[in-house]
Amino acid sequence: MENLNLIANKSTDRIAEIFYGRTIFISGATGFVGKALLEKLLRITQVKRIYVLIRNKKGKSANDRLQNLFTNVLFETVLSVKPSCTKKCTAINGDVNEVDLGISPAYRQTLINEVNFIFHCAASTRFDDSMRTAFVLNVRGTKYMLDLAEQCKHLMLFVHISTAYAFHLEAKTLEKEYKSAINPHDILKDLNCLDGSFGKKDVSELSGDLIYLRRLLQKVPNSYTFSKSLAETLVYEKVGKIPIIICRPAIVIPSYEDPFPGWFNNLQGPMGLFVAAGKGVMRSIYMDCKTSANLCPIDSTVGSIMMFSWHYLTTKNSPYIFNLCVPQTDIRVTWEEILEAGKDVIKTKVPFNGILWYPGGTMTKNRLYDQFNFVCFQLIPALLIDFLLFLLGYKPLLYKVQMRIRKGGDMFEYFTTKNWSFETTNLETVREKLTDHERKSYMVKVEKIDMKKYLTQCMLACRRNYLKETDDTLPAAKRNMKIMFCLDRIVKIGFFVFLAYYMFKIFKFLL
């Protein structure tokens, strides 16, 4: 029997219907969100063509990269039910960093003539990119995408993927326009004002605006959220001129169900923390574990983006800004609950191969305690092991790994130490207009999530698809985990016996 969730039935799926026979243009389709969106469009709709903006990378052409995309496990389902769907996709060689997206004039004309929907997902998503790098891609790149959209003769909708974290101006981020801290056009006039050397310039060399910008740049939490806020500002300017919606996802996590549970694309998000913790190399993280985690599974993210597109096109006076995370009324889960459940899964159900130590450690909002744990349980052991590797003639590597993990944790801190709250009225209102079938097909209501079951699926998918650890190695990994547990306890008991012995000796000496 055909799984209703896998292929939409045109007559019962009003969302799929808006894409019927349409031409789509997607940027960022090799990334987490873009890839899942491409897959869902191919699987569940009857689009005419999908143009995908891809840059040449690591010696691979845009077309090679597109073909390679379809080898991702995510596409297995759609390829099994629609084997020729990839023929609908055309790679367009381009680069969002370049003027006018670096697209050839011929392809640009094709897009102008044919495109009905634009999904702009490409972005610099590294929180530690330089301000210039983030600005060029996220802000100037968005400007070029909007310029193209304005020229498209048959554009029905431009979907801008922003982030729920772009603005933190009030306790709860509402689904409305916010004023960015600076006018992006002021920076677009001269990108040099973002360079590192600018920050060091003497105040006397700067005009009033630039002094303000320098002070501002010193205060912004990271280049990512700052540049995304400026990009949104550019999008607001086009509202009313072209059909536009802005989708602001919170933290996107692996798929809940569709097309299979646990799929994710890279280790940048929470899965990176789980892998580092599961391998035993990460033992401390600075976070407020009591704060709520604002998460959205990727299948729900993509389904919601498609649902918002449908709503905007079919409803008079539809809102055009949508915050996107699982509403707190559906699921309320703290970071502590997630990490504790994850630790349990990693230790007992789905351990990884080749772990360095028994997974454990602390989450704390005490900076000093976190630093202490990091130095004692991550840094010093890493240096010792590296020294041993060096003596044995191998290349030391753990110090580097630890520094990368630390940097990743530091970058995540902005999102996990504040009590973020997002209005989700539009998501809740729009999904109520769907039929049960549509709600299920687009995964826009994820209720009663069994965190342990979900994380078990995520870790299994992570082992298989990301770490390339086959399931037949699970029993050995479980045995190894038990050995590591014993070793961990022996070392800990040994350490305390040693400590007690010397305390006793000192005490005796003092008496």
Ligand X SMILES: NC(=O)c1ccc[n+]([C@@H]2O[C@H](COP(=O)([O-])OP(=O)(O)OC[C@H]3O[C@@H](n4cnc5c(N)ncnc54)[C@H](OP(=O)(O)O)[C@@H]3O)[C@@H](O)[C@H]2O)c1
**Interacting residues toward ligand X by CB under 6 A:** 27-28, 30-34, 53, 55, 57, 95-97, 121-123, 125, 137, 161, 163, 228, 249, 251-252, 265-266, 269
- Tokens found for residue 487: 């070793």
Region label for 325, one of left (φ > 0), alpha (ψ between -120 and 50) or beta (otherwise): beta
CB 369 within 8 A of CB 376: no
In angstroms, what CA-CA distances link 178 with 361, 384, 465, 473? 39, 50, 39, 51
CB 255 within 8 A of CB 205: no
Instruction: Give the nearer residue to ligand X in terms of CB position, either 51 or 377.
Output: 51
Angle, in degrees to the nearest 10, between helices 141-151 and 223-238: 20
CB 75 within 8 A of CB 126: no
Nearest approach, Cβ of 75 to ligand X (angstroms)? 15
Please report, in angstroms and rounded to a whole number, the separation of the first and last CA atoms in the chain.
Answer: 82
Instruction: Give the nearer residue to ligand X in terms of CB position, either 58 or 219.
Output: 58
Cα distance between residue 335 and residue 94, in whole Å: 39
The DSSP letter of residue 238 is: H
Instruction: Give the nearer residue to ligand X in terms of CB position, either 54 or 481.
Output: 54
Nearest approach, Cβ of 60 to ligand X (angstroms)? 10
Nearest approach, Cβ of 483 to ligand X (angstroms)? 36
Nearest approach, Cβ of 32 to ligand X (angstroms)? 4
Residue nearest to ligand X (CB): 31
Nearest approach, Cβ of 126 to ligand X (angstroms)? 8
Q: Classify burial at 476, counting beta carbons within 10 Å of its beta carbon; exposed 0-12, middle 13-18, buried 19 or more.
A: exposed
Nearest approach, Cβ of 423 to ligand X (angstroms)? 16
Cα distance between residue 304 and residue 325, in whole Å: 9
Nearest approach, Cβ of 224 to ligand X (angstroms)? 7
Nearest approach, Cβ of 87 to ligand X (angstroms)? 21
**Which alpha helices (H) appear in 152-269, and where do they start and end?**
184-189, 196-200, 208-219, 223-238
Instruction: Give the nearer residue to ligand X in terms of CB position, either 86 or 362.
Output: 86
Instruction: Give the nearer residue to ligand X in terms of CB position, either 153 or 176.
Output: 176
Instruction: Give the nearer residue to ligand X in terms of CB position, either 55 or 132.
Output: 55
Instruction: Give the nearer residue to ligand X in terms of CB position, either 34 or 259.
Output: 34
Instruction: Give the nearer residue to ligand X in terms of CB position, either 7 or 103.
Output: 103
Instruction: Give the nearer residue to ligand X in terms of CB position, either 95 or 370.
Output: 95
Give the CA count within 13 Å in the CB-facing half-sphere of 313: 19
Give the CA count within 13 Å in the CB-facing half-sphere of 194: 22
Instruction: Give the nearer residue to ligand X in terms of CB position, either 121 or 326.
Output: 121
**Nearest CA-CA partner of 242 in 148, 357, 361, 310:** 148
Cα distance between residue 348 and residue 325, in whole Å: 29
Cα distance between residue 82 and residue 239, in whole Å: 37
Nearest approach, Cβ of 339 to ligand X (angstroms)? 17
CB 136 within 8 A of CB 99: no
Nearest approach, Cβ of 34 to ligand X (angstroms)? 5
